[in-house]
C-alpha cells in the first residue's frame, strides 16, 4: 500500500475547496463534483494509510496490582479498571515509551500489542519529574516501531494524529492540530513545556504518541483538562529523547543543579523588559556551598538567560537548568544593580531531592513546600476525586516539610484543626503562624487520611 507523507498536507487543504465545490448548484458542474470527490478520496486514503503505518506500534499497558487471596494465601494479579498507552520506539529490543504514572509502582506491567498478543514488561526506568517511563518486553521477532521526529520546528496549526486506548478502546486514532506550544504552569509535572492539541485525548490515551503526517512521534500524550473540550497536552519529543536516553542507559535522569531559590520578578520586571531581556527570575536564596555560591551569584540577581536559553519564568528556569549536563560550564546572564553581567557556573548534579526551587517570599517558605488549588488535572493525577484541600506540588530540600515526611501529591485538608479548602485559606492560616510554631496537618495520601506533625524552627 502506498504510504502518504507530507503531500497529504496539501490534500487536507484541498478538501475545503472540494467541500465548496460539492455544495455548488448541480447544473454545469458535474466535472467539478467529480474532481471534488477525488480529492476527498485521496484525503481518506492518506488517513487510512497513516493509520495502517502507525497503529501497530502503539500498545496497551495494564498495570497489575498484587493482592493476597486470604483462603489460599497465594498471590494473584488483579486487573484494574484503568489502562494506559505506550509506543514502541525500538522493535528489535522491545523498547516502549509511556508515562511514568501509567506504570507507577509496577515492575511488570502487561503489554498488549495490536491484535491481542500479550507480554509481561519490565520497567527500565521512570522519571516522575517529566512523567516519562521506558518499558521493555522480550520478543524473538522484530516488532513494529515508530520513529522520533523533531519538536523544535512545530507550528500552531500543524496537523497531528493521536493514537491511544481511550477508555480501553484499543488502537483509537484521532485527528487535529497543534493548538499551542510551550505551555507551562499546567501543574502536571515539574518540567513543563507542553504541546497543546485539539486532537481528541481521553483517559487511557496517556503515554500514547502524538504524530505528524509522516507518522513520526512529535510528542507523548500525558493529560487533558477534564472540564474543557479539546484541550490535551503532549510532552515534546525533543524532551522525550533526552529523558529516554538516560532511562535506558542508567534507569534515572541526571539533571543539572544550580543551588538557588527563585521567584517571579515583580517590581523589577519593567527594568528587565525595558532592556529587551524578557521577564527573567529573581534569586531570593543562595544555598551554601553549591554551584551558584561558588560562582558568585547573589541574592537579588535577576537571571534572564542560562546558556543560550532566555528565561521568562520560574518554570522555564527549572526546565532549562534541569536539562543541562552536570559538570558543564554554563554562562548565566544576570541583571545586577541595573547592569548586565555574565557569571560562568560549573553545573552541579541534582540529587533526587535537589533542584532549582521556587521559594515564595512569605511565611509559606518556612514550611518548605509549595501548594496548589485542587484542579481537575491534579484530582486525576493523584486520584483525589470528591476531596477538598490543597495539593502539595513541591517539597524543598532540607525543609520542615521534608523532615516531616510530607510528599508531593499529599492533599492538605486541615491545619491545626482548621479546614482548608483553597490556597487562599492555606496562605491565610499559615500567615498567622510564626516560624517556631509546631503545626498539625490532616492530609490524605493514597487511600487514607494521616495526621502529620511539622515541627517548628528551633
* Enzyme catalytic residues: 101, 131, 206
Cβ–Cβ < 8 Å for 321, 256: yes
Q: Do the beta carbons of residue 413 and residue 387 sit within 8 Å?
A: yes
The helix/strand count (H/E) of the chain reads as: 9, 30
Instruction: From 133, 169, 132, select the one nearest 55 (Cα to Cα).
Output: 169
How many whole angstroms separate alpha carbon 419 and alpha carbon 442?
9
Beta bridge partners of 358: 262
Q: Which grid cell sits at 131?
A: 512523567
Name the residue with cell 487520611.
449
Cβ–Cβ under 8 Å, residues 355 and 322: yes
Torsion over CA: 95, 54, 9, 200 (sign): negative
C-alpha cell at 259: 543551588
CA distance 270 to 347: 29
CA 312 – CA 244 distance, rounded (Å): 26
The Cα–Cα gap between 152 and 119 comes to 34
Longest dimension (CA), the chain: 90
Amino acid at each position: 500500500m502506498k504510504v502518504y507523507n507530507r503531500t497529504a498536507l496539501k490534500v487536507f487543504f484541498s478538501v475545503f475547496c472540494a467541500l465548496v465545490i460539492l455544495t455548488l448548484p448541480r447544473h454545469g458542474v458535474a466535472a467539478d463534483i467529480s474532481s471534488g470527490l477525488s480529492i476527498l478520496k485521496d484525503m481518506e486514503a492518506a488517513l487510512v494509510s497513516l493509520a495502517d503505518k502507525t497503529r501497530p506500534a502503539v500498545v496497551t499497558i495494564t498495570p497489575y496490582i498484587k493482592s493476597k487471596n486470604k483462603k489460599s494465601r497465594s498471590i494473584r494479579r488483579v486487573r484494574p479498571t484503568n489502562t494506559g498507552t505506550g509506543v514502541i520506539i525500538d522493535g528489535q529490543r522491545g523498547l516502549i515509551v509511556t508515562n511514568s504514572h501509567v506504570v507507577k509502582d509496577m515492575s511488570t506491567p502487561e503489554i498488549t500489542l495490536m491484535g491481542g498478543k500479550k507480554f509481561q514488561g519490565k520497567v527500565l526506568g521512570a522519571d516522575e519529574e517529566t512523567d516519562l517511563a521506558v518499558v521493555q518486553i522480550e520478543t524473538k521477532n522484530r516488532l513494529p516501531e515508530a520513529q522520533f521526529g523533531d519538536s523544535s520546528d512545530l507550528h500552531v496549526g500543524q496537523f497531528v494524529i493521536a493514537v491511544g486506548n481511550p477508555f480501553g478502546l484499543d488502537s483509537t486514532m484521532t485527528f487535529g492540530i497543534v493548538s499551542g506550544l510551550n505551555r507551562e504552569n499546567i501543574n502536571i509535572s515539574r518540567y513543563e513545556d507542553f504541546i497543546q492539541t485539539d486532537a481528541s485525548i481521553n483517559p487511557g490515551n496517556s503515554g500514547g504518541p502524538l504524530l505528524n503526517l509522516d507518522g513520526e512521534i512529535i510528542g507523548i500524550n500525558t493529560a487533558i483538562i477534564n472540564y474543557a473540550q479539546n484541550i490535551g497536552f503532549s510532552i515534546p519529543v525533543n524532551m522525550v529523547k533526552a529523558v529516554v536516553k538516560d532511562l535506558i542507559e542508567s534507569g534515572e535522569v541526571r539533571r543539572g543543579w544550580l543551588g538557588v531559590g527563585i521567584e517571579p520578578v515583580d517590581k523589577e520586571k519593567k527594568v528587565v523588559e525595558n532592556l529587551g531581556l524578557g521577564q527573567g527570575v529573581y534569586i531570593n536564596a543562595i544555598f551554601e556551598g553549591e554551584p551558584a555560591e561558588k560562582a558568585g551569584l547573589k541574592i537579588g540577581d535577576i537571571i534572564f538567560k542560562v546558556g543560550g536559553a532566555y528565561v521568562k519564568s520560574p518554570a522555564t528556569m527549572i526546565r532549562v537548568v534541569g536539562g543541562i549536563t552536570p559538570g558543564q560550564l554554563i554562562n548565566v546572564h544576570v541583571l545586577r544593580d541595573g547592569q548586565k553581567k555574565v557569571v560562568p557556573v560549573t553545573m552541579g548534579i541534582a540529587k533526587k531531592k535537589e533542584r532549582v526551587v521556587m521559594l515564595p517570599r512569605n511565611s509559606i517558605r518556612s514550611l518548605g513546600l509549595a501548594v496548589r488549588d485542587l484542579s481537575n488535572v491534579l484530582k486525576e493525577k493523584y486520584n483525589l476525586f470528591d476531596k477538598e484541600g490543597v495539593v502539595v506540588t513541591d517539597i524543598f530540600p532540607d525543609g520542615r516539610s521534608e523532615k516531616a515526611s510530607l510528599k508531593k501529591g499529599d492533599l492538605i485538608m486541615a491545619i491545626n484543626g482548621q479546614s482548608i479548602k483553597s490556597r487562599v485559606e492555606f496562605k491565610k492560616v499559615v500567615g498567622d503562624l510564626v516560624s517556631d510554631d509546631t503545626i498539625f496537618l490532616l492530609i490524605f495520601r493514597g487511600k487514607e487520611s494521616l495526621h502529620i506533625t511539622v515541627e517548628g524552627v528551633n
